[in-house]
Amino acid sequence: MQALDRKLLRDFARLWRQALAIAMVLACGVAILLMALGTYKSLSDTRETYYERNRFADVFSAVKRAPNYLAAELAAIDGVWAVETRTSGSAILDVPGSNVSISGQILSLPVEGLPRLNVPIVTTGRTPDPASTDEVMVNANFAIANDLVIGDHFFANLNGQKRQLTITGTAQSPEFIYTIGPGALMPDNATFGILWMPKPAVDAAFDMTGAFNDVTLKLSSGALEANVIDAVDQLLDPYGSLGAYGRDLQVSDAFIDSEIKQQRNMASVLPPIFFGISAFLVSMVMGRIIALERSQIGLLKAVGYSNLEICLHYLMLAALIAVVGIGIGWGAGTWLARSMSTQYAQYFDFPFLIFSTSAWVYAVSAMAALLATMAGAIQAAIKAARLAPAIAMLPPAPPQFKRALIDRAMAAMRLSQPTIMILRALIRWPLRSGLTLLGIALAVSTIVSPSFFQPSLNKIIDSAFYESNRQDAMLVLSHDMTQIVLETAADLPAVLQTEGQQFHAVILRNGNHEKRTQIQASHPATDLSRVMDNDGHQVAVPPGGVVLTDRLAAHLNVGIGDTVDARFLGGRQETHPLIVTNTIAQYFGIGAYMDLDYVNGLLRQSPRISTINVSLDDTQVLDLHDRLKDVPNLAGIVMMSDTRQSFAETIAENIGIINTIYIIIAVLITVGVTYNGARIQLSERSRELASLRILGFTRGEVSYILIGETMLLAVLAQPLGWWIGTLIAAGMFNSFSSDLYNLPLVFEPAVYAKASFVVLLASFASVMIVRRSLDKQNLVSVMKVRE
């Protein structure tokens, strides 16, 4: 081991506290990069493998009733590899031990074997006997949530006929990784399940013998999805097609894809912040080390070490810090990535998890960390290499100062001498002060940016559940029915108020811009499900027009007064021009709103509704559920009160975890910046502070100088941190928003107050640790140190 190597290890051991503080900040960047990329890759690989093994379809379409012979014509479409036709229906389930109504989606199984596409994985038991009429296989999570096992019985209201069904097995399907019921906003395995039955039994129950009402298609490699969709629509339109669509609009895949994109966006937003702070900290520490080791650098050069060797020596010191940070970050990042991937696999109902953080992810994180530390150290290392031996052996020339306007201003203000010393230090080294302030501001922003999630989600809850959707429950009908059904619903137990709605699947077009969505039609004076504008006021949708959500309007490139063409899917497949009368903010999905009577007249049909919104008497809700189990033509019930509570609880749990993680990260950043800054300040001003003690300044006055400079910078950094955090939050919210949901940026003073409190407290604790070194100083020894 050469002399420089021994010096390198001694320097690292002597500076281990400062090195560890920097390494921990660096480790945060490495860990978050690993977590985001690792989770992203694990979810992507798991999804793709699952889809490939179980032949998840590429194109989907629902139709009212199409003859079976169309399957051959669909298979003959250019680019189609396989076709699976089936019958799908909805039912209300009466499960023993459950007091609430449960919705089920029933899918037919081929007479021979499993389906060709969207192949379910049988997890327990077996598939139903093809000749049976009362055997069923259910999705595994539904069985677990309701304590159902093989051989258990429950009742199902199949198209008005109540039938007892027997469970023969449980399964998982790539089509229902994210299982959400009709009209629901969140998955609830206890109240919604998937049921597979033999096709003859399902066809008989829903009057579909010799026909199908649902089709999925797998495309050949290189096939154009848009062309296949057009061909499918052309074939199925005469039979009441609701329009073919790709995976991007398949509910389950859309939610998973949104989460995967969020992980990718996180990897590009947060890690650069930590790497930048690490580079700044390394620059601070290396600059001070070289200033203190001028004489040693001179001696090294005098005995023959080259400029390159000196430069590499200090770069290696920075590299050691990076190695420690990379090691900690790799360990923490791998654990976080595995934990996040496991949670996602459970939440999204994957049957297996492929966790394999690739070597390139580790390589990228390590390279980023090394580049950050090298960028921070390179200037100081080059400066050390350029020092001439004779000059290096001399102490640095003291800086020249002269009284300026600021000095006269401080004198006029009659500030105390310690306060003047603090202000002079900040003013005379503006670059160092500015970088320290920026580092602390970034720590503040680290807490501010995720803290916006809570008020934003509260805004979503208030808007979606208390302003717009104020109903206690939604009764989803199996098909459109006349408004007389409102009178029937009003006679149900617990029902206090009823309102009808109608939903139509449509494709809205404006020139080359188009979007598949649904139109929600209701009466202008509705009270339970209201259309609200951006200011929280109810919007009465006028006849003859359509109200669009702002994201949908932006996608179609239309504004108020413009006209869009609406192609109504199903029924007559008609296209009608609609005038955009207003745009509104909406946080769940993208939609359009019209007057119910106008829609009925436009489609030349008698008044119809597809959903009944009701307000309930809480004391009779159980009686309502008992009655609904026997009501025909009911596809499902969504208890909005339960949805509100479930949504709020899920959000509170997730936000609590996120905020805790980011507070820890912010504390690490703060400690790294303030501790290193205070240590450098103490090493630079130790003789000066000792002189003040000898001249009669008290221990508190001298400590005030050390503490005051750091804390003043910490206070000044708060507004900048608030601003940076708000910008980061806006970028994150924009990247996270999609057609599924949109996050509003809600400003609350408590967000900024919490961030400032945590950072100021961490700053004070860090500088107090350094102050202990000041108390332990030997004044005589310090005064002997050569300036």
The answer to whether residue 572 sits within a structural domain is yes
Same domain assignment for residues 231 and 86: yes
Q: What CA–CA distance (Å, rounded) separates 188 from 194? A: 12
626 or 121, which is more confident? Answer: 121
For residues 96 and 204, state if they share a domain: yes
Residue 739 lies in a domain: yes
Q: Does residue 713 contact residue 773 with C-beta atoms inside 8 Å? A: no
Q: Is residue 366 a part of any domain in this protein?
A: yes
Cα–chain-centroid distance for residue 262? 5
The C-alpha torsion from 509 through 513 and 517 to 519, rounded to 10°, is -40
Same-domain pairing of 660 and 717: yes
Three-class secondary structure assignment of 498-514: EEEEEEEEEEEEECCEE
Shared domain for 660 and 781, answered yes or no, is yes
* Lowest mean pLDDT across 147-156, 374-383, 573-582: 374-383
Residues 129, 264: one domain? no
Phi–psi pair at 728, nearest 5 degrees: -65, -45
Close Cβ partners of 766 (under 8 Å, ≥ 6 residues apart): 670, 671, 674, 675, 678, 710
Cα end-to-end distance, the chain, whole Å = 32
What's the rounded Cα separation, in Å, for the pair 663 and 714?
A: 16
CB atoms within 10 A of CB 18: 21
CA 173/CA 196 separation, integer angstroms: 11
Return the percentage of the chain with pLDDT > 70, whole number: 91
Q: Are residues 44 and 63 in the same domain?
A: no
Same domain, 247 and 289: no
Hey, what are 490's tokens? 């009003």
Q: Using CA atoms of 575, 543, 609, 646 in order, give the dihedral in degrees to the nearest 10.
A: 100
DSSP string, 473-532: EEEEEEEEEETTHHHHHHTSTTEEEEEEEEEEEEEEEETTEEEEEEEEEE-TT-SSB--B
Residue 49 and residue 77 in one domain: no
Contact of 43 with 257, CB cutoff 8 Å: no
In a domain, 488, yes or no: no
| Beta pairing class for 135-139 and 161-172 | parallel
Residue 579 near residue 559 (C-beta atoms within 8 A): no
If DSSP codes are grouped into helix, strand and coil, which group holds residue 422? helix
pLDDT of 80 reads 93
Q: How far is CA 14 from CA 321, 377, 669, in A?
A: 13, 18, 21
Domain identity same for 461 and 535? no
SS3 content of the chain, % helix, strand, coil (to 5): 55, 20, 25
Would you say residue 259 lies in a domain?
yes
Tokens of 85: 């036709």
541 and 646, same domain (yes or no): no
Average pLDDT over residues 691-696: 69
Number of domains in the chain: 4
Selection from 495, 517, 523, 502 nearest residue 564 by Cα: 517
Same domain, 681 and 598: no
Look at residues 89, 85, 170, 79 and name the one whose alpha carbon lies nearest to residue 124.
170
* Kind plus residue range of the DSSP H or E element containing 370: helix 359-386
Mean per-residue pLDDT, 246-268:
81
Mean pLDDT of the chain: 82
What is the rounded average pLDDT of the residues 563-569? 89
Mean pLDDT value across residues 434-452: 82
**Do 340 and 440 fall into the same domain?**
no
Using alpha carbons, list the distances in angstroms from residue 313 to 153, 298, 418, 640: 76, 14, 38, 66
CA–CA distances in Å: residue 162 to residues 156, 213, 459, 632, 783: 6, 22, 42, 9, 95
Q: Could you tell me what percent of the chain has a pLDDT over 90?
A: 17
pLDDT of residue 153: 92
- Residues 50-92 have pLDDT tens digits of 999 999 999 999 998 999 999 999 999 999 999 999 999 888 8
703 lies in some domain: yes
Higher-scoring residue by pLDDT: 452, 736: 452
Is the pLDDT assigned to residue 393 strictly greater than 70? no
In CATH, what number is assigned to the domain containing residue 551? 2.40.40
Which residues are 504's β-sheet partners?
519
Residue 403, domain member (yes or no)? no
The mean pLDDT value for 273-298 works out to 74
656 vs 225, which has greater pLDDT?
225
Does the pLDDT at position 425 exceed 60?
Answer: yes
Q: State how far the Cα of 468 lies from the Cα of 589, in Å rounded to an integer.
A: 14
Amino acid at 403: R
Residue 230 · residue 224 · CB < 8 Å = no
The domain of 228 spans: 59-252
Lowest mean pLDDT: which of 25-29, 104-108, 201-205?
Answer: 25-29
**Which pLDDT tens digit goes with each residue over 444-490?**
888 888 887 778 877 777 777 777 888 888 888 888 888 888 888 88
pLDDT at 787 over 50: no
Last residue of a domain, one of 376, 397, 418: 397
CB 149 within 8 A of CB 166: no
Residue 420 in domain: no
Tens of pLDDT along 273-282?
777 777 777 7
Please tell me the distance from the alpha carbon of residue 259 to that of residue 56, in angstroms, as a whole number: 19
What is the 3-state secondary structure of 28-90?
A: HHHHHHHHHHHHHHHHHHHHHHHHHHCCCCCEEEEEEEEECCHHHHHHCCCCEEEEEEECEEE
Q: In whole angstroms, what is the distance from residue 567 CA to residue 572 CA?
A: 10
